[in-house]
Amino acid sequence: MNPVRDKSLSRMKKRICVVTSYLPFVYGGNEILAETLAKKLRESGYESWVAYVPQNPFGKQISAYLSARFTDLRFKGCSNEIDQIISLKFPAYAVKHKNHVCWISHRMREYYDLWDEFSSSLPSAAYRVKERIRRFAIHKIDEHFLKGIKRVYSISENASMRLKKWGGIHTEVVYPPPRDMNYRSGPYENFIISVSRLTKHKRHHLFIDAFRSIRNQSIKGYIIGEGEERKSLEKRIETAGLKDRVFLLGYLNDEELERYYSSCLAVFFGPYDEELGFITLEAMKFGRPVITCDDSGGPLEFVKDRENGFVVNPEPSEIADRIEYLSSNEGLAESMGKSAFERMNDITWEKVIDKLVII
């Protein structure tokens, strides 16, 4: 028998379940990563499915961990026995399985790197004491479950650093490729896009405020995404008198998003201390330079200042300066975009699956 075909046949007997958590009506990088990983596993010859466990709101996180812990995905002896699980995010890594690999994006950030900001927003001393106790408990729970998993990988150096800092958990970095889209490079038109959920830490307000300083009125800005910050961003645009220059496009399907990616001058992605930032990878795969901030975390693992994008202080005036510089220097966006595209060449799903599959 052909050994290559035989290997493929043996893979078909192996079932790998991708496990992650969910919040109702929230769809973002975590969900895209889970679905894409399962798809790529199927394309590699495995049977794969995504299983979701609840994440739960504040005050009920412990019950979410318990729910995940009592979710038994072994099904040993059944016709649908699962051979391996790959968990992605809290509290999914509490799920039981003897062949458990965790490819972690992040833990609950409010109890780790965002603790100072989160705790300062609590309404009273009593709340702060209660949250300190809960934070201590979740640190211990995370450490216990993660150290009990067969292998733990992280999606970025930034995520790996946090695991080591809080919990002494050492991980190897396995970068995820961007999701499947119709990647192509079209003309570099005179507009910038800012893509991601409309939440505080994505800092779309920096993008809006930058247009106050952009003298070239022909440069347009498009913000793509939905979220709880939409109304405040709308008001910011109106107050600044930018309604004819900065536009909130809301949610776009993949085909519509591809059109903006493939024809923009550059992509602004300046979140606060992101673990990875899938927008960076998508933009570079489309051959677009990325403008990010020096405190944006994960994007800095890919964006090299003045090589494939710009790294600036999180100041609107600096963002405006780089946008105008790109716009006024013909060919610069294209040359930076080529460097950005080349940065993605060694990040492949074949490498990811080779690391994550242990059965």
Per-residue three-class SS string for 232-273? HHHHHHHHCCCCCCEEEEECCCHHHHHHHHHHCCEEECCCCC
- The partner residues of 103 in beta bridges, in order of sequence, read 153
**Which tens digits make up the pLDDT trace of 264-315?**
999 999 999 999 999 999 999 999 999 999 999 999 999 999 999 999 999 9
Comma-separated ranges of CATH 3.40.50.2000 domains in the chain: 191-343
- What is the spatial distance between Cα 55 and Cα 61, in angstroms, rounded to a whole number? 7
The tokens describing 185, both together, are: 């490079």
* Secondary structure E strands in 167-214: 172-173, 191-195
Angstrom distances, CA of residue 226 to CA of 37, 237, 249, 267, 355: 24, 16, 9, 17, 34
Predicted pLDDT of residue 122 = 92
Is beta strand 151-154 parallel, antiparallel or unpaired with respect to 266-268? unpaired
pLDDT at 13: 72
> In this structure, what are the phi and psi dihedrals at residue 140, rounded to the nearest 5 degrees?
-70, -40
**What count of other Cβ atoms lies within 10 Å of the Cβ of residue 263?**
17
Superfamily of domain 191-343: Glycogen Phosphorylase B; (3.40.50.2000)
- What's the DSSP call for residue 41? H
Residue 297 phi/psi, 5-degree rounding, is 75, -115
- Residues 6 or more apart whose CB falls under 8 angstroms from that of 63 comprise 56
Residue 12 pLDDT = 54
Rounded to the nearest 5 degrees, what angle is found at the Cα of 315, between the Cα atoms of 282 and 287? Answer: 20
Task: Give the pair of three-digit tokens for residue 217.
Answer: 């009125």
Q: What is the pLDDT of residue 4?
A: 44
What's the pLDDT score for residue 22? 87
- Residue ranges for the chain with pLDDT beneath 50: 1-11
Residue 2: predicted pLDDT: 46
> Which pLDDT does position 1 carry in this prediction?
44
pLDDT of 77: 61
Nearest to 204 by CA among 143, 293, 137: 293
pLDDT computed for residue 34 by the predictor: 95
In this structure, which CATH number among 3.10.110, 3.40.50, 1.10.20, 3.40.47 belongs to the domain 3-177+348-356? 3.40.50
Give pLDDT tens digits for 69-89.
Answer: 998 887 766 677 899 999 999
* Burial label, 128 (beta-carbon count in 10 A; 0-12, 13-18, 19+): middle
Residue pair 279/309 in contact by the 8 Å Cβ criterion: no
